[in-house]
Amino acid sequence: MVELKSFLENSFSMEGLDCELASGLAALARPFSVKPGAILFEAGDPGNGCYAILEGSLKVSIVSVDGDEQLLAVMGPGSIVGELALLDGRARSANVTALKPTRLAFIEKHRFERFADENPALYRHMLSIVGSRLRQANDVLAARSFLPLPGRVAQTLLQLAETFGKPVDNGRVLIHYKLSQADIANMAGAARENVSRVLNDWKRAGTVSRISGYYCLENPDWLRQASAL
Amino acid sequence: MVELKSFLENSFSMEGLDCELASGLAALARPFSVKPGAILFEAGDPGNGCYAILEGSLKVSIVSVDGDEQLLAVMGPGSIVGELALLDGRARSANVTALKPTRLAFIEKHRFERFADENPALYRHMLSIVGSRLRQANDVLAARSFLPLPGRVAQTLLQLAETFGKPVDNGRVLIHYKLSQADIANMAGAARENVSRVLNDWKRAGTVSRISGYYCLENPDWLRQASAL
DNA sequence: CCGCAACAGTGACGATGATCACACAATGCG
DNA sequence: CGCATTGTGTGATCATCGTCACTGTTGCGG
């Protein structure tokens, strides 16, 4: 499957890995597909490898005992998920669920390590991925600590724009992904109703808009301001 | 300085690195000391290496524009700080300040990479450190999302016990470190006054006590329960 | 041993944001 | 094409927790 291989290479290199390593890795990967709603794994499961997203999207979340959900991220093609299990051998720390029909490549821990031992650049790459995850986690925590609700919503939108944003004109950014307010609320750690209020204030003020169901950031700089610590 | 070298080896191996690598690393490190209150670095500084703590303690924190502080961790001997800058080349993401007179070893990014490229096990080790940081960050975020104030305080105490805890009898754990309520509050993300109330409730209920200025967890299991998601 | 400074306890009050209870779109499907 | 399901807008109320304003305590340096 030439097509698959090129997909994989593309995917791995998306998070910045160089080409020959990507294809080496691609050779180790086992591709497969899942339907929306499928659970890749849940927190506490033993983790024996990681996944690269070729196509589709997944959500990473943690849930409380009484069912409340905290979304950590929504990830699209080119992202790696489940990488923590690759590092230490410990259990999965979050839930990952498919949001859309999704094509994935699974990389087993052993194989990864064998390959990476001969290609330390791969370790460096992994390190930089995990590093940016950690930075982001700290940013979110900072937002939770210091920002009132609107600031956290702003942060959430910008974060989503990072993953799904398509720049249009004048610095406006369209978030090319169907998001419900509930999704945003679960990321921002707020009640859906309040997110609604904030979003409407902004819509009226012209900082965001909705274009045929997609949110559009009319003024990302203003949002950045609002989410500054 | 034989003494220093053995200190270093001991330090690096504390987070689980094997002995020969530790001494290899030790050879790369530049030792120095700082006084309490000294700022190792602040968020936004360019980061060109990481530090191993030989002796003393540091706090890792982020601060908001209006000066509120969120403690991410208090770290003691054997811990590594500033490792993020080692991974990607990006700026420091938090502040690190000495709390006590502290002896450190600085490892430069270049040197580290050169050494690690020949010893991939070191990369793996680094990966597992960063991995556990990320796990912990997620735990804290989960607590913020789901737990009311007492739960977060419980989590904070347990986390501190992880770093500074000395088991005494019957599963009781003494936190061998001078902590003010303000410190705990800044970790738990709560107002000092409310932490005071919670702590007193627990003192009266016998779940925690103060033994000559140190907090002692009389019933860690109960606290774990209280901080369960 | 005294006095100051940092730390700790406690009440009162208020604001932020969660929850409840709806009416009102949209969307999709038989 | 209607009906159902899922998403959205908005007010009213309530609880948690932060803030303010103190008093009481502890420990340390002169």
pLDDT tens per residue, range B170-191? 999 999 999 999 999 999 999 9
User: What is the mean pLDDT of the segment spanning A102-110?
Assistant: 92
Query: Residue B123: its chain A contacts at CB < 8 A?
Result: 116, 120, 123-124, 127
pLDDT score at B14: 60
In this prediction, what percent of chain B has a pLDDT beyond 90?
Answer: 71
Query: Taking Cα atoms as reference points, which of A37, A50, A39, A35 lies closest to residue A102?
Result: A35
Binary contact (B124, A113; C-beta < 8 A): yes
What pTM, to 2 d.p., does this model score? 0.93
Residue among A78, A83, A16, A132 nearest B87 (CA): A132
Which residue of chain A has the CA closest to B120?
Answer: A117
pLDDT at A19: 67
User: Which nucleotide is nearest to B191 if distance is taken from CA to C1'?
Assistant: D18
Q: Decide which of A130 and B2 is more confident.
A: A130
pLDDT at A9: 65
User: Stated in angstroms, how far is A51 CA from D19 C1'?
Assistant: 47
Distance CA A134, CA A126 (A): 12
- Judge contact between A83 and A129, C-beta under 8 A: yes
**CB contact (8 A) between residue B87 and residue A127:** yes
Nearest CA in chain A to B64: A229
Cα dihedral A135, A82, B86, A165 sign? negative
**Res A86: pLDDT:** 86
CB–CB of A117/B120 below 8 Å? Answer: yes
Q: Is pLDDT of A60 > 90?
A: yes
pLDDT of res. B11: 63
User: How far apart (Å, rounded) are the C-alpha atoms in residues B141 and A103?
Assistant: 29
Residue A57 identity (one-letter amino acid)? S
Predicted local confidence at residue B19, as pLDDT? 65
Q: Which residues pair with B33 in a beta bridge?
A: B103
- What average pLDDT score do residues A192-204 get? 97
Across B129-154, average pLDDT: 96
